[in-house]
């Protein structure tokens, strides 16, 4: 992994991109869960 021509900035960039992708996934899951709860509540009202 750590070849001499790999710059620390490249590694940091990819780490950041990976973290960002994970946080986006977590956010989407959160929104989906809230949406399901809201839908379930509305279905219960009818």
Residue 46, pLDDT score: 78
Both tokens of 40, joined, read 């379930």
Q: What is the pTM of this model?
A: 0.60
Both tokens of 17, joined, read 């991109």
**pLDDT tens readout for residues 1-46:** 566 667 888 999 999 999 999 999 999 999 999 999 999 999 998 7
- Centroid of chain to Cα 10: 21
Helices (H), 1-46: 8-45
What's the full length of the chain, in residues? 46
């Amino acid at each position: 992994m750590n070849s001499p021509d790999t710059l620390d900035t490249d590694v940091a960039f990819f780490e950041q991109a990976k973290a960002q992708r994970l946080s986006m996934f977590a956010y989407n899951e959160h929104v989906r869960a809230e949406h399901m709860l809201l839908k379930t509540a509305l279905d219960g009202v009818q």
